[in-house]
Amino acid sequence: MGKVLTDVVCRTATSNDRPLRKIADGGGLFLWVYANGNKSFRFRYKFHGKEKSLTIGTYPGVTLLAARRKTLEAAEKLAEGIDPSAAKKLASIERKIESLNTFELVAWEWYEKQVASWAPSHGTDVRRRIQTNIIPFIGDRPIAQITGPELLAMISKMEKRGAFDLAHRVLGVCGQIFRYGIATGRCAFDLSAALKGALTPHTAKNQNAIRPQRVPILMQSIAKYHLTGDYKTQLGLQLLAHTFLRTTELLAGEWSEIDFDRNIWSIPAERMKANQDHLVPMSKQVIQIMVELKKLSGLSKYILPGRNIMVPVSNNTLLFALYRMGYKGKMTGHGFRSVASTILNESGFKSDVIEKQLAHTEKNKVRRAYNRAEYWPERQVMMQWWSDYLEAAEKRERLDCFHGRGIKRGAARGGYGTLRISKGGR
């Protein structure tokens, strides 16, 4: 039987006042015309002796040509022993599952499970990388259908603008999301692993820091900063040098964290990069700085308030102060940590004690659970030693008695000996 339907017939057909009119096209395809003017294509067939009907689509959204093509596809499934209606339902279910397993949805599910264990600043960084560098490119794609070239194209956009470090970090985030997808049954492969060799190699650049030999000049410059700059900024730099906290950890410090009776600064986990409580033994010099800052902070809850006492001073305040002293490209707030680590290690202090005071994250998960006050007596001695060292540097006193075998022998005996600071020399 030849084809009956044409585009003109489909467009002008009416139900002739009947509730439903069925116009056959051949091969099991029908145009159903309803009294209200709606029209749809249907495929009529038999499966295991039972008559069934498969909706192809509504006209004119689905054209006659498209309806015939879909009818042929359904007939081919039927010839293979597959029920076209069941196949359509299964495809619909799969599409629904895929819509719930887009990379974006899996990414945010992974993020919500992880963010509680991160420091707030790290959580913000990861969220920004997902929102800005991932979602616009592959967010709406089912995670199981994303291809290697597709992922590489996304990463390459970052490399083209010179953001090589960011490209590596974003790929790392993608890898964690893919691995979470594997664990939850949403995908089978971590595509990021195969792409690592395709990225432009990048070596992380350390924060600028002066050499230990330049510490006296730096501390002397800071001690005179009030002559040309703000006294509170000078005290902030001195506090950063003596405690070698991360700049963000220091600037958000609140007076409620300071215990002058026990000489301890207790920083809560939510303000630490490693998301663990951290204790800072306050040396005599740090206490003196704190007393001065208390006078200047007024009614603010912050140790270093900004012009608006309701918020802490900005990171740029300390950084630009270093710039004004001639240390642009030579020293940063983070550089104080590097300098302290170098000098303390060279002076015979145990690396575990230094790492604990630096609040570095322990890679070993078992050891990571150690008490926040671990090595506390050694840390108290070390932090007082460090403040004495900086004070001697600031006052142009000899530093050689702080270094070498005298300290190491004292350490071997379980202590760090008595420090003798003699006048004269540098």
Q: What is the mean pLDDT of residues 39-48?
A: 92
- Specify the CATH superfamily of domain 103-198: Tyrosine recombinase, N-terminal domain (1.10.150.130)
The answer to whether residue 23 scores a pLDDT higher than 60 is: yes
So what's the pLDDT on residue 219? 95
So what's the pLDDT on residue 112? 94
So what's the pLDDT on residue 399? 66
Structure token pair of residue 103: 């990379």
Distances (CA, A) of 220 to 224, 239, 333, 398, 419: 7, 14, 16, 14, 21
Mean pLDDT score of the chain: 85
Return d(Cα 402, Cα 420) in angstroms, integer.
8
- Active-site residue, from 129, 186, 232, 334: 334
Q: Residue 34 belongs to what H/E stretch?
A: strand 29-34
Q: What is the mean pLDDT of residues 323-342?
A: 90
Radius of gyration of the chain (CA): 35
Q: Is 360 a catalytic residue?
A: yes
- SS3 of residue 16 by DSSP: coil
Structure token pair of residue 9: 């017939």
Return d(Cα 314, Cα 151) in angstroms, integer.
37
Task: Determine contact, residues 32/42, Cβ cutoff 8 Å.
Answer: yes
Stronger pLDDT, 307 or 203, i.e. the higher one? 307
Peptide bond into 60 cis (omega under 30): yes
What is the domain partition of the chain in residue ranges?
7-97, 103-198, 212-412
The answer to whether residue 321 scores a pLDDT higher than 90 is: yes
Same fold flag, 7-97 and 103-198? no
Q: Is 370 a catalytic residue?
A: yes
- Active-site residue, from 337, 356, 375, 379: 337
The answer to whether residue 417 scores a pLDDT higher than 50 is: no
Peptide bond into 84 cis (omega under 30): no
Q: Which of 98-112, 132-146, 201-215 has the lowest mean pLDDT?
A: 201-215
So what's the pLDDT on residue 418? 35
Return the percent helix, strand and coil in the chain, to nearest 5.
55, 10, 35
Q: Which amino acid is at 81?
A: G
So what's the pLDDT on residue 273? 82
Q: DSSP class of residue 142?
A: B
- What's domain 212-412's architecture? Orthogonal Bundle (1.10)
Return d(Cα 279, Cα 257) in angstroms, integer.
10
So what's the pLDDT on residue 198? 80
pLDDT band, residue 411 (cuts 50/70/90): very low
- Active-site residue, from 69, 360, 368, 409: 360
The CATH number of the domain covering residues in 7-97:
3.30.160.390
Q: Write out the DSSP string of 210-228.
A: --GGGHHHHHHHHHTGGGT
- Active-site residue, from 44, 273, 350, 408: 273
Q: Which of 90-104, 181-195, 386-400 has the lowest mean pLDDT?
A: 90-104
So what's the pLDDT on residue 163? 80
- Active-site residue, from 246, 271, 278, 356: 246
72-82 residue pLDDT tens = 999 998 888 88
CA torsion 144-148-149-150 (nearest 10°) is 40
Return d(Cα 75, Cα 77) in angstroms, integer.
5
Give counts: helices (H), strands (E), the chain.
Answer: 18, 7
| 158, burial (CB in 10 Å: exposed 0-12, middle 13-18, buried 19+) | buried
184-216 residue pLDDT tens = 888 899 999 888 778 877 655 556 788 888 999
pTM: 0.53
- Active-site residue, from 21, 77, 370, 372: 370
Distances (CA, A) of 209 to 218, 224, 345, 389: 11, 20, 16, 18
Task: Determine contact, residues 170/103, Cβ cutoff 8 Å.
Answer: no
- Ramachandran category for residue 401: left, alpha or beta (phi over 0 → left; psi -120 to 50 → alpha): alpha
The answer to whether residue 84 scores a pLDDT higher than 90 is: no
Distances (CA, A) of 286 to 11, 204, 239, 281: 87, 32, 6, 9
Q: What is the mean pLDDT of residues 385-392?
A: 95
- Residue appearing with tokens 């530093």: 399
Q: What number of CA atoms fall less than 13 Å from residue 418's CA on the CB side? A: 2
The answer to whether residue 422 scores a pLDDT higher than 60 is: no
